[in-house]
Amino acid sequence: MNGRFAIALAGLARAGLLVKGSIAAAIGLAAAMLVLVMLAAWWAAAGGASARTACEAALPVGRLAERTAPKELVSLFTEAAAKYELGGEGPAILAGLTKVESNFGQNMGPSSAGAIGWTQFMPKTWKAYGVDADGDGRRDPFNAADAIHSAANYLRASGAPREWRKALFAYNRAGWYVEKVLRVARTMRLDAPAEAAGGLVGCAGAIDAPSLGGGVHRVTGGGEIVSIPGSPGESIDSRILPDVLALQRRFKFTITDGYATSGHAAAGEHPLGLGLDIVPGPAGSWEDIDRLAAWAEPAPDQPRRPFRWVGYDGDEGHGRGHHLHLSWDHAPAPRPPAAWVLTLGAR
């Protein structure tokens, strides 16, 4: 489905870019947008919405609010992560787990499998790992403090924070579950006091082209390979250099490759100077790269414009611990410069 939808989107995007200056064009654009809305509704109804991953700045505020952890729980996530030494990502992952398991206490079971409470423990596991965190003398999976601390206790015993994926797999033996919790954690907004939020994975929803000083548009003509200031030995198409520098300021990354005639996909964007490989810079972290990736590719294989392809978690040879690849969309070209390129218009 992704492919079909992406092609339809690309077609509409092109139509929107090409028509201008007439009433017919305006009507055409409105019709295109209507079709787009209908397509999106169909796609959501078809189950695509459950696969959405990121902050989704384009979504109505109501959807973003769903990604915000309830205030009264935030201190529990922070305390439990600290007590069981789950590291900087601990609070966000506990929040993601509690969201996925019970929608923050709205579906406390028992599930068809018999799981109960805020963090959906099986009774047998609860016997072994359940703790009394609120000090009332009972271990109660329907008490938020007890349930969240018990989940932290179990994750710690199962390998977190050294091996988050292994620990989450122990919690629920399904690969999709592990990825879902991590995805939700990445985009979870914990509106906690600044000191408690330190090291948390924030929501990338506030980032957009305008906040980088521009707006997505197509640059036709021009373009030459120029060196990237501050990145010795690296070069890029001059039309996307401002984007690259603005993103680098925001996400504190080191550029490991830009324009390159070999060592990358021949039909990709590195040989055109429109591809970028990055890793955390000295002042940055993988959390910064996660946020950038989640923003640039809000849903699997549906990069945000101006990006043509985003290589990260789920893409072979890319991802956390390897690198993030960003490609800017462009006219087909055998060699640089491409006739046109989409840019963020950053300044």
Segment (H or E) for 309: strand 307-311
Pick 237 or 277: Cβ nearer Zn ion: 277
Pick 108 or 244: Cβ nearer Zn ion: 244
Shortest distance in whole angstroms from residue 251 CB to Zn ion: 16
User: What contacts 28, CB < 8 A, 6 or more positions away?
Assistant: 15, 19
Q: Shortest Cβ contact with Zn ion: which residue?
A: 325
Which one among 156, 308, 325, 330 touches Zn ion, defined by CB under 5 A? 325
Segment (H or E) for 276: strand 275-280
Shortest distance in whole angstroms from residue 292 CB to Zn ion: 14
Pick 311 or 345: Cβ nearer Zn ion: 311
Which one among 146, 277, 288, 290 touches Zn ion, defined by CB under 5 A? 277
Candidate ranges 11-19, 98-106, 209-217, 319-327; the one touching Zn ion (CB under 5 A) = 319-327
By CB under 5 A, what part of segment 72-131 binds Zn ion? none
Q: Is the bond preceding residue 161 a cis peptide, omega within 30 degrees? A: yes
Shortest distance in whole angstroms from residue 303 CB to Zn ion: 14
Shortest distance in whole angstroms from residue 270 CB to Zn ion: 6
Pick 67 or 325: Cβ nearer Zn ion: 325
Q: Are 329 and 306 in contact (CB under 8 A)?
A: yes
> Of 309, 289, 94, 87, which Cα lies nearest the Cα of 182?
94
Q: Are 192 and 200 in contact (CB under 8 A)?
A: yes
Running DSSP on this structure, what letter comes out for residue 330? B
Shortest distance in whole angstroms from residue 259 CB to Zn ion: 11
Shortest distance in whole angstroms from residue 274 CB to Zn ion: 11
Count of CB atoms situated within 10 Å of the CB of 172:
18
CA gyration radius, the chain: 23
Candidate ranges 144-152, 234-242, 248-256, 269-277; the one touching Zn ion (CB under 5 A) = 269-277
Candidate ranges 16-24, 161-169, 270-278, 329-337; the one touching Zn ion (CB under 5 A) = 270-278
Shortest distance in whole angstroms from residue 294 CB to Zn ion: 18
CA distance 280 to 271: 23
| Structure-block tokens of residue 225 | 């390979």
Candidate ranges 93-101, 246-254, 321-329, 338-346; the one touching Zn ion (CB under 5 A) = 321-329
234 near Zn ion, rule: CB under 5 A: no
Pick 234 or 277: Cβ nearer Zn ion: 277
Segment (H or E) for 145: helix 144-157
Q: Are 163 and 178 in contact (CB under 8 A)?
A: no
CA distance 253 to 4: 33
User: Which residues make up the interface to Zn ion (CB under 5 A)?
Assistant: 277, 325
